[in-house]
Amino acid sequence: MASLQTQKQWHVIYTRSRAEKKVVQELNLNDIECFLPLQKRLRQWKDRKKWVETPLIPGYCFVNITRKEYDKVLQLNNVVSYVTFERKAAIVSQAEIEALETILRQFDFEVNVTMENFEPGKLVEVIEGPMVGLKGELIECRGKNKFALRIEQINTSFLVEIPASCLSAVPENVI
């Protein structure tokens, strides 16, 4: 088993406004593994429309670091701080990072991010389609069923439109 000094864990960093891509460049130059979830969105100006890649979670970036690299990240330009949870840097599991990557690969699903805190609902699992195996909280029905993947450490929820037939309730004793 790797020691705590060499074991990598995913953390969340808070960046300066609109500096997420610059932070990723700096992290890459320093050989620090990072993940910035980007989504293509159609932006419209008066004279034209253009597809641009924007951060899925503005102001946040994920870094996979060892304890030794912790302070090095804070010294980079445009990095404000680590996102903390109970006075410790929030740790995001590898499964949550992979779930984000899976959601972003899906072109058939509309992804919306909201900072709204949802009331706890029924835990569901995707049983069909490209996101099979993902678990999340069923929020509510607004004409369509919505599947929510919550990353509690950064207080963000992801709503993905998905047919109800692709969901199955997870028994309460199996968590």
Segment 81-114, tens digit of pLDDT: 999 988 899 999 998 898 888 878 875 555 666 5
Query: Is the per-residue pLDDT at 37 higher than 50?
Result: yes
Query: What pLDDT score does 23 carry?
Result: 98
Mean pLDDT across 30-53: 89
Length of the chain counted residue by residue: 175
Contact by Cβ (8 Å): 23, 30: no
Mean pLDDT across 10-29: 97
Q: Quick check: pTM over 0.75?
A: no
Contact by Cβ (8 Å): 10, 92: yes
Segment 132-162, tens digit of pLDDT: 777 777 666 555 456 666 655 566 676 777 7
CATH code of 9-92, in short, is 3.30.70.940
Fold entry, domain 98-169:
SH3 type barrels. (2.30.30)
Residues 6+ apart with CB under 8 A from 110: 160, 161
Q: Look at the block and give the residue holding tokens 């701080």.
A: 81
Q: How far is 92 from 9, CA to CA, in rounded Å?
A: 8
Query: What pLDDT score does 104 carry?
Result: 81
For the chain, what are the domain ranges?
9-92, 98-169
